[in-house]
């Protein structure tokens, strides 16, 4: 039985989540901002049509915002995560195997599920998600994940597809590949696309027509697999269970510039605590901790300072106290007075499963206290899940004025009783 995979992707997901509970914004320009309300991270089609790019700083487009009355929202990740969960639960009803690829994308294995009319089945998926969540989606299909991704791209570019496209037919596949630039292929970044263009490989069809051995020698095995996938040969399996993160980074830009050591220490304590929680959530431990601090690189009027430092731990850990304490020791090496710091962060690496045996230091008593540490952290996590503001481990102070501002955040309509939509009749 020929394989058939589908990629279901939500249209302008963050904006769509806001519009579900604000139908008055449908058809109007809407944008969602980054954590510190500094950059645009999601755009409605109306905003895209104005030429506003992803990641553009808000101050650079203030004139367009006022002229076209663009509605701005701060990122509301609580709402977006819950809406994503609802979308994924609907998609699970249409497939025996599903891979959640990102907050707004999922791969579905439809092999043997919709052999008679895949397009009609895709339309059923669209209607079910829209009816249950209010979110518009596009469905791209093909015998491989790369072709499903390419088909999904085409559904967004050409409205005549009706939001659903199947690239199982080689003739239809070739027609599309001949008009799509090679840089639109999943996994082909701008640098690789530039190198391919230098070799005369401009369209997707040009890449798909290349000998696999030649591409492997000139690039790498990843690009060679992409060529095979474009020719309908599956190389990427569906991952029903998301793999553990091999690197965890927690960082934020500050709402104001920080000049004191204790302010940066407090911020790092919070970031380190959050990173440790993520580590424990996937039942992992980290063996290396890195810290970075920096001033604003885009302000020529202020001196630039950017430094990072890291250390390998004597034994891998998931203990918040160890992670925060190590981060603050590194901060002492990096901090210099006289600078106005804009951002700092903590990075955990050399991550491995907590159940994996680790080499212990016979002369380090802390290594033998791992069992007690795990019990303590489990207790802290249970308390924090029940009382989100109950315990903050190893925080250096109580001044949170440095926290990223979110002046335009919408209600958590689906997860907080106090913020439900008010309907007036």
Residue 306 bridge partners (DSSP): 294
Whether 48 and 131 share a structural domain: yes
**Residue 25 domain-assigned?**
yes
Could you tell me if 49 and 83 are in contact, meaning their C-beta atoms sit under 8 angstroms apart?
A: no
User: 30-33 and 306-317 as β-strands: parallel, antiparallel, unpaired?
Assistant: unpaired
Q: Which residue has the tokens 């690197």?
A: 247
Could you tell me if 217 and 223 are in contact, meaning their C-beta atoms sit under 8 angstroms apart?
A: no
Whether 250 and 331 share a structural domain: yes
Whether 265 and 350 share a structural domain: yes
Burial of 378 (0-12, 13-18, 19+ CB in 10 A): exposed
Query: Is residue 57 over pLDDT 80?
Result: yes
Whether 207 and 350 share a structural domain: no
- CA–CA separation, 324 vs 319, rounded Å? 9
Whether 265 and 160 share a structural domain: no
Give the domain-ending residue among 165, 200, 230: 165
CA distances from 145 to 152, 158, 168, 172, 187 (A): 10, 20, 12, 17, 11
Whether 135 and 232 share a structural domain: no
- What CATH number does the domain containing 268 carry? 3.30.1490.100
Q: Which residue has the tokens 């980054």?
A: 34
Q: Which of 52-66, 193-207, 290-304, 347-361 has the lowest mean pLDDT?
A: 347-361
Query: Is residue 264 over pLDDT 70?
Result: yes
Query: Is residue 366 over pLDDT 70?
Result: no
CA distances from 413 to 78, 82, 87, 307 (A): 9, 10, 16, 41
Whether 262 and 396 share a structural domain: yes
Our count of domains for the chain comes to 3
Give the CA count within 13 Å in the CB-facing half-sphere of 344: 31
Predicted TM-score (pTM) of the model is 0.82
Give the domain-ending residue among 218, 242, 266: 242
Question: Domain range spanning residue 219?
Answer: 169-242
Please give the residue that has the higher pLDDT: either 138 or 34.
138
């Amino acid at each position: 039985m020929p394989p058939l995979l589908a990629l279901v992707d939500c249209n302008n997901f963050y904006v769509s989540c806001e519009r579900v509970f604000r139908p008055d914004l449908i058809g109007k320009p809407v944008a969602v901002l980054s954590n510190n309300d500094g950059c645009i991270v999601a755009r409605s089609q109306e905003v895209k049509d104005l030429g506003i790019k992803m990641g553009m700083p808000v101050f650079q487009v203030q004139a367009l915002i006022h002229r076209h009355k663009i509605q701005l929202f701060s990122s509301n990740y609580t709402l977006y995560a819950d809406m994503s969960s609802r979308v994924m639960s609907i998609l699970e009803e249409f497939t025996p195997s599903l891979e959640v690829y990102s907050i707004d994308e999922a791969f579905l294995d439809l092999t043997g599920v919709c052999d008679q009319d895949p397009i009609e089945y895709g339309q059923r998926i669209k209607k079910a998600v829209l009816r249950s969540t209010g979110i518009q989606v596009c469905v791209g299909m093909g015998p491989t994940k790369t072709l499903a991704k390419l088909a999904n791209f085409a559904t967004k570019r050409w409205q005549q597809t009706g939001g659903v496209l199947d690239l199982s037919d080689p003739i239809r596949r070739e027609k599309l590949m001949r008009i799509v630039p090679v840089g639109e292929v999943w996994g082909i970044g701008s640098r690789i696309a530039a190198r391919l263009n230098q070799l005369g490989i401009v369209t997707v069809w040009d890449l798909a027509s290349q000998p696999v051995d030649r591409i492997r020698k000139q690039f790498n095995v990843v690009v060679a697999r992409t060529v095979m996938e474009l020719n309908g040969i599956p190389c990427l399996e569906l991952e029903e269970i998301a793999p553990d993160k091999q690197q965890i980074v927690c960082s934020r830009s500050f709402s104001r510039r920080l000049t004191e050591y204790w302010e940066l220490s407090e911020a790092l304590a919070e970031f380190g605590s959050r990173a440790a929680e993520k580590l424990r959530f996937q039942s992992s431990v980290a063996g290396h901790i890195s810290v970075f601090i920096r001033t604003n690189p885009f302000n020529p009027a202020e001196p630039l300072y950017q430094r990072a430092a890291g250390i390998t731990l004597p034994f891998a850990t998931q203990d918040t106290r160890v992670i925060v304490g190590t981060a603050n020791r590194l901060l002492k090496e990096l901090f210099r007075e006289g600078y106005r710091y804009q951002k700092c962060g903590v990075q955990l690496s050399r991550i491995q499963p907590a159940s994996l045996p680790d080499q212990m230091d016979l002369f380090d008593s802390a290594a033998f206290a791992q069992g007690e540490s795990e019990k303590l952290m489990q207790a802290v996590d249970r308390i924090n899940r029940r009382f989100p503001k109950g315990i903050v481990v190893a925080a250096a102070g109580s001044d949170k004025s440095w926290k990223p501002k979110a002046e335009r955040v919408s209600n958590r309509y689906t997860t907080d009783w106090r913020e439900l939509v008010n309907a007036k009749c």
